[in-house]
Amino acid sequence: MTELVTEEELIRSIRSHLPQLLRSDQSLGDSILSVTRDQFPTKVEMEDRFTRMLNELAQDREAQSRKWEEQKEEDRRKWEEQNRKWEEQNRKWEEQNCKWEEQKQEDRRKWEESNRRFDETNKRIDRSIGALGARWGIQSERAFRDALAGILVESFGVEVINVNEFDDEGVVFGRPEQVELDVIIKNGLLILCELKSSMSQSDMHTFERKVRFYERRHDRQATRMIVVSPMIDDRARRAGEALGIELYPDSLDVSV
C-alpha cells in the first residue's frame, strides 16, 4: 500500500533536493525561471529598475533645484524692483523736500525783502515828515542833517565829516561868514555833500560856491557834488543839473 506524502513533506523534499537538481539539470532551472519570471524580476531587470528610479530621483531633484533657482531669481527680481521703486520714491521725496526748502527760502527772502522795503518806505516817510518839520520849525535843520548823515554812514560804511570854515573874503555869501559843508572821503575820492530838508534854486548856487571855496582852500578838486534833500523844487532841480550836482531825494538812493 502506497504511503501518501503530505504537502509539507513535499516542500521539504523539494527544498533539500532542488539545488542539486538545478545543478544537474539546466532545463529544470529554465523551466522554474520561466514560471517565476512574472513574479520575480531578474537581476538585470532589478538593476534597470533601480537605475530608472535613481534617474527619476535625479531628474526630480534637478527639476526641484531648477524651480528653486527660478523662484530665487524671481524673488530677487521682485526685490530689486521693489528696491528700485523705494529708491525712486525716496528720490521724489528728496526732490519734493528740496522744492519745499527752496520755496521756504524764497518765501523767507521775499518776506525779508518786503520788510526791508517797508522799513525803507517808513524811513523815507519819516524823513519827509522830518523835512516838513524842519522847514516849518518843528525840528531843527541840524537834527535833520545829522539823521541823513547817519544813514550814509550806516548804509555805505563811509565817514561823513562836517567841515565848518570861515570865509574871510566873502566868496560864498558875499560877506565874511562861516561856511559849513559835509565831506566824504572814500578810496581817494573827494565827495562834497549838502544834506538839507529842502533846497531852493538859490541854495543850489550857494552849495556850488561852497564847493569852489573848499577846493581853493584845500587845493583839491571835488570828485562829486551831491545834494540829498526830500524837497527840491523844479527850479532848484534844473539849477542843480546845470551845475553838475547829483540830486537824491533820500540818503538810501545815494551810490557811494
Sign of CA dihedral 89, 91, 95, 98: positive
The residue-averaged pLDDT of 122-134 equals: 49
Angstrom distance (rounded) from CA 133 to CA 124: 14
Q: Of 10, 212, 22, 252, whose CA–CA distance to 121 is shortest?
A: 252
Mean of pLDDT values over 110-130: 62
Domain ranges for the chain, please list them: 39-139, 140-253
- For residue 159, what pLDDT is reported? 73
State residue 135's pLDDT score.
45
pLDDT-derived band at 56 (thresholds 50, 70, 90) equals: confident
CATH topology of domain 140-253: Trna Endonuclease; Chain: A, domain 1 (3.40.1350)
Tens of pLDDT, residues 137-188: 434 566 556 655 665 666 556 677 788 899 998 888 899 999 888 887 777 7
Q: In what order do the strands lie in the sheet with 160-167?
A: 160-167, 177-186, 189-195, 224-228, 246-248
Tens-place pLDDT, residues 89-101 = 888 888 888 888 8
pLDDT in tens, 12-32: 777 777 677 667 777 766 676
- 227: exposed, middle or buried (Cβ count in 10 Å: 0-12, 13-18, 19+): buried
226, pLDDT greater than 70: yes
Which region, left, alpha or beta, applies to residue 160 given φ > 0 means left and ψ of -120 to 50 means alpha?
A: beta
Q: Inform me whether the pLDDT recorded for 130 exceeds 70.
A: no
- The pLDDT assigned to 150 comes to 60
Judge whether residue 129 has pLDDT over 50: no
- Cell readout for 142 is 541840524
Torsion of CA 131, 136, 141, 146, to 10 degrees: -40
